[in-house]
Amino acid sequence: MVISFALALHAGTRMALVVMSAMPLVALGMAAQGWAAARTAAAVAAHTALAQTVADQALRGVRTITAYGLEGDAVWAYDLMLAPGARAAMAGAHGVGLGAGAAQAVLNCMFSLAFWYGGRQVAAGALSFDSMMRVFFTVVLAANALADVQGIVPALGRAADAVDRAFGVLETASPIERGDGAAAKKGRGGAGAGTAASAPPARLAAVAGEVRLDRVAFAYPTRPGHPIFRDFSLTVPPGTTTALVG
């Protein structure tokens, strides 16, 4: 693309500069396309994760669901979780389509501008017809290069969103201390590492075998708004077995 612009400037500097002035608008359309693709990928991934959680729970409890005739309710809950993702995907597809259409419209307008301005230059004797055609076709080559890039812009947007989500997981600091008492590190490449805890975990002098849960609150990370336990307390005496089923 750079070589095409250099050849166009050599063949007809004024015409090449006029035609190349539309290139930022093409880049703007492609940027809008990539932004819409990245935003759509993030929204769809979030809602798909929620739907996957519902499906996993339904498959684990398939016997219970079948016994109570709750198949329709399970399908309804799954569709309910998928619906926002489908709406986000539809809106994102419109955004990507508008960005691609805008970029193509600007390219076609750029070609029209090249013929109009080049014709005026030829009529005025400031540019030969051969030079005008050389400028036009070198700009067409550059535009074809941009069109090739435009095809992978949505994929680049989805890849950027995937990288952000991956590093978001890697940078999550765990509140659980390691066995040596050191706190979990946070940050890419060790940047922003946490400091060591005040002291390593203490050893218990005696173990009676009793297990006690005191006002426990719990929710799955993928569904933080749906708590499983809220102020749940339980005492398991030594020598007994207790199972939590659900």
User: Rounded mean pLDDT of the chain?
Assistant: 76
pLDDT given for residue 184 in this prediction: 47
Q: Which residues contact 187 (CB under 8 A, 6 or more apart)?
A: 171, 193
CB contact at 8 A, 12 and 130: no
Picking from 170, 35, 25, the residue whose alpha carbon sits closest to that of residue 103 is: 25
Between 94 and 30, name the one with better pLDDT: 94
**Given phi > 0 = left and psi -120 to 50 = alpha, else beta, which region is 215?**
left
Q: Which residues contact 104 (CB under 8 A, 6 or more apart)?
A: 147
In this prediction the pTM is 0.47
- In the DSSP assignment, the letter for residue 234 is E
pLDDT given for residue 150 in this prediction: 60
Residue 192: pLDDT band with limits 50, 70, 90: very low
Residue 194: pLDDT band with limits 50, 70, 90: very low
pLDDT digits 0-9 by tens, 45-75? 777 877 888 888 888 888 888 888 888 888 8
Q: Which tokens is 16 given?
A: 């090449």
Phi, psi of 109 (to 5 degrees): -65, -35
Residue 146: pLDDT band with limits 50, 70, 90: low
CA dist., res. 112 & res. 223, Å (int): 54
CB-based burial of residue 77 (10 Å sphere; 0-12 exposed, 13-18 middle, 19+ buried)?
A: middle
Percent of the chain with pLDDT over 90: 0
pLDDT given for residue 157 in this prediction: 67
* Span 25-37, average pLDDT: 73
Phi, psi of 147 (to 5 degrees): -65, -40
Between 92 and 195, name the one with better pLDDT: 92
Q: How many CA atoms lie within 13 A of 199 on its CB side?
A: 3
CA dist., res. 48 & res. 89, Å (int): 11
H or E element at residue 214: strand 211-218
pLDDT digits 0-9 by tens, 65-111? 888 888 888 889 888 888 888 888 888 788 777 777 777 787 788 77
pLDDT given for residue 193 in this prediction: 45
Name the amino acid, one letter, at 192: G
